[in-house]
Every structure is written in C-alpha cells, then in structure tokens.
Amino acid sequence: MPASTDEHRRLLAEALARADSDIGDLRLRVAEGERAAADLAIAQRELAVCRAECAQLKIDLAGVMASLSWRVTAPIRFAAAQARALRGRA
C-alpha cells in the first residue's frame, strides 16, 4: 500500500529539518576553522618578528664579542666569575 500524502510531507519535513541542522553544524565548523586560520596567521606573523629580532640580536652579540673592549676585559670577567663561584661555595 503506498504511503499517504501526509506521510510523504512528514518524511520530507523531517529530512529538511535534519538538513537544516547539518547546515547549521557545518556553518559552525567553518566559522571555527576561519578563527583558527586567523589565529595561525597571527602566530606566524609574531614568529617572523621574533626570528628577525633574534637574528638582529645575534648580529649585535657578534659585534660586541668581536670588539676590542670585550677582548680586553675578558680576564676581568673571568676573575669575577671565579670569585662568584668561590663565594657561592663558602
């Protein structure tokens, strides 16, 4: 016996309700993905800035360590480090 028109309408309404729910879920997932992508882009920009700062600090440090004053004061720094070590043991 074929299903009645009311039964067809009920089944169609249920299918449409499920489809609407699925569409809503997909919209939420897309929004979450877009937020995650935006957060990732921000993190990548911050990482690039940090890497650039690190590279500049390495250049600055190399310049300091190559300077005459750094080399001349090396024995004084060594003696101070030894004094701190001895004071820490006592």
Each residue's pLDDT tens digit, 32-75: 999 999 999 999 999 999 999 999 999 999 999 999 999 999 99
Q: Determine phi and psi for 2, rounding to 5 degrees.
A: -70, 150
Predicted pLDDT of residue 90: 66
pTM here is 0.59
Per-chain mean pLDDT for the chain:
93
Q: The tokens of 11 are what?
A: 């089944």
